[in-house]
Amino acid sequence: MNVAVFVKHVPDTAEADLAIAADGRSLKAAGLPYQMNEWDRFALEEAVRLKEASGGNLTAYLLGPEECEDSLRRCLAVGADRAVRVWDPTLGSGGPWAAAATLAAAVGETRYDLVLCGAQADDDGYGAVGGLLAELLDLPAATLVTRLEVGDGVAVCHRELEAGWSERVELDLPAVVTIQTGINEPRYVSILGIRKARSKPIDLLDRTALDLSEDQFDPLCGFLDLVSLELPPPGREAQLLQGSPDEAARQLAAVLKEKGGVL
């Protein structure tokens, strides 16, 4: 089975003090630690397990500049056979549609049995690239998959729906699947494995290699126009409940009733 996985290098903002850059449309990147997108770690692990179970090859793709290669090195350390970085300075601001179009061009005529992506990215949260990629590659797709079973020419996907519901769908292969967190337990990558991965080549595809002309690419940027970013307003300070546990419980119940949390 030949599998492709698409990963993204994103800032780790869990404990960072975020600030808007001078352009008002991006975050200040200086000082922010970067890592592989959380959803993509689960997609990578699922791709490696499929390769281990059925053989074949695994190719990892990433759209980004050279400083993003650490995430591709992780893919190689975990078990990817090939890593491809797709980048050109003109490819960085087109939104999810342009990203999907660029990655679809990178795949080109290569036919994979299965294409895996994370369900969404930590930094923008669009959750759109996987579905758009399936449309551009003319492949069936399933999103937010929490369990994946691959048989003879068929992928059985258990996917997450709203309000705790789920559904089971069958896709004829080849297909695109976006992976939800929790589908597996991503394996630990040893320092030795990362060091070995640093000696492996990473292929680079730029706009010329992708044969994407300005006439083809520029209109894609118009599908989404990011006007500005704003940090959420600070909330009120926490209310501390005083007294014994019974008194604190009564105060809490009163607060919940006042705010409409209970009747």
Cα–Cα distance, 176 to 3 (Å, whole number): 10
* Count of Cβ atoms closer than 10 Å to residue 60 Cβ: 30
* Residue 249: inside a domain: no
CATH of the domain at 47: 3.40.50.620
* Residue 243: inside a domain: no
The number of distinct structural domains making up the chain is 1
* Residue 242: inside a domain: no
* Residue 138: inside a domain: yes
* Residue 237: inside a domain: no
Can you read off the two tokens belonging to residue 226? 């990011």
pTM, 2 dp: 0.83
* Residue 240: inside a domain: no
pLDDT, tens digit, 9 for 90 and up, residues 22-34: 888 777 877 788 8
Residue 238 or residue 21, greater confidence: 21
Say what angle helices 129-137 and 95-107 make with each other, to 10 degrees.
40
For every residue of 167-235, DSSP letters joined together read EEEEEESSEEEEEPTTSS-PPPPPHHHHHHHTTS--EEE-HHHHT--HHHHGGGGGG-------PPPP-
* Residue 166: inside a domain: yes
* Residue 218: inside a domain: yes
pLDDT, tens digit, 9 for 90 and up, residues 94-132: 688 888 988 999 998 899 999 999 999 988 888 999 999
Cα–Cα distance, 92 to 168 (Å, whole number): 36
Average pLDDT for residues 145-157, to the nearest whole number? 94
Candidate ranges 65-69, 172-176, 247-251; pick with highest mean pLDDT: 172-176
Domain carrying residue 182? 2-223
